[in-house]
Amino acid sequence: MKIGITGATGQLGALVVEHLKERTNASNLVALVRSPKKVEGIEARTFDYENSDNLSEVLKGIDTLLLISGNEIGKRASQHENVIRAAKEADVKWIVYTSLLKADTTSINLAGEHLATEKLLKESGIAYTILRNGWYTENYTGSVPGAVGAGAFVGSAGNGKISSATRNDYAEAAAVVLTSENNKNSVFELAGDESYTLEDLAQEISKQINKEIPYNNLPEKDYCDILKGLGLPDVFAEGIASWDVSASKGDLFYEEKTLSKLIGRPTTPLSEAVKAVLN
């Protein structure tokens, strides 16, 4: 059985490939990427979500497809539609898609494109599994070194609890699902076992460096302006600030522990994720 992985050289995709190698023979795996030369150890094919003319040819012979959502916000729904249409033409039997936690109820503005893709999958006639991934812990721990340097962690998430998990946790879950026929036509809401506020994160940083790093909660516009001042593009800065506001409403909070049940172990603790970026 051939398993195709889109974005196989990306931050999530590369981890999925490594976990799949532990669960199936590498000869069963196909990396679907823009730059096949970057791929080692498995078959690689040139694949671009935008190139709708030859996608079905590229997908021929693939039985199961992991469709990792694209990273071009605003273009993803049409890109994913290209892939799903091509998969049907190529007789792909099963598509696993990485969506967003609580996509049908969240206020996070990323949800629309994910819901559009979910709808396309359900109407495609192809067996599907939807992995509604929660926030990556790295979305916050990536800011830890800067917070240490600045003497404070800033954001707009208020007291909202965040049930994040690491990319590696989500990647392992994808590999588990892809190698089990029992997971077809299912939707999984996936999030970390541990829920924390950004104040909790600041306290964890403080504990590990033995220095007080407070959390400063800011109005959305003020936080956005800081991000822009750090050189982030306006659209991305506005997005990050708005996602924090959504977190303050509980949109990143989920307690069912479906993720840890799938992977058969607890998700990575926040303390370990913080330690990884400080060392």
Distance CA 49, CA 43 (A): 18
> For residue 41, what is the DSSP state?
S
- Strand arrangement, sheet containing 94-100: 43-46, 29-33, 3-6, 64-67, 94-100, 127-133, 186-190
Res 1: pLDDT: 86
Return d(Cα 214, Cα 1) in angstroms, integer. Answer: 51
Q: What is the pLDDT of residue 76?
A: 92
Separation CA 203–CA 130 (nearest Å): 34
pLDDT tens digit at each of 279 positions of the chain: 899 999 999 999 999 999 999 999 999 999 999 999 999 999 999 999 988 788 999 999 999 999 999 988 889 999 999 999 999 999 999 999 999 999 999 999 999 999 999 999 999 999 999 999 999 999 999 999 999 999 999 999 999 999 999 999 999 999 999 999 888 999 999 999 999 999 999 999 999 999 999 999 999 999 999 999 999 999 999 999 999 999 999 999 999 999 999 999 999 999 999 999 998
Cα separation values, 264 from 12, 46, 172, 180, Å: 19, 34, 10, 14
Q: What is the pLDDT of residue 53?
A: 81
Question: What's residue 73's pLDDT?
Answer: 86
pLDDT of residue 51: 80
pLDDT at 197: 98
Q: What is the pLDDT of residue 174?
A: 98
The answer to whether domain 3-133 and domain 134-166+190-254+265-279 are alike in fold is no
Q: What is the DSSP string of 178-239?
A: HT-GGGTTEEEEE--S--B-HHHHHHHHHHHHTS---EEE--HHHHHHHHHHTT--HHHHHH
What integer pLDDT is reported at residue 137 of this predicted model?
Answer: 98
pLDDT number for residue 279: 87
CATH 3.30.1360.70 fits 134-166+190-254+265-279, yes or no: no
The domain covering 3-133 belongs, at the CATH homologous superfamily level, to NAD(P)-binding Rossmann-like Domain (3.40.50.720)
What ranges do the domains of the chain cover? 3-133, 134-166+190-254+265-279
Q: The pTM is what? A: 0.96
| Cβ atoms of 148 and 205 closer than 8 Å | yes
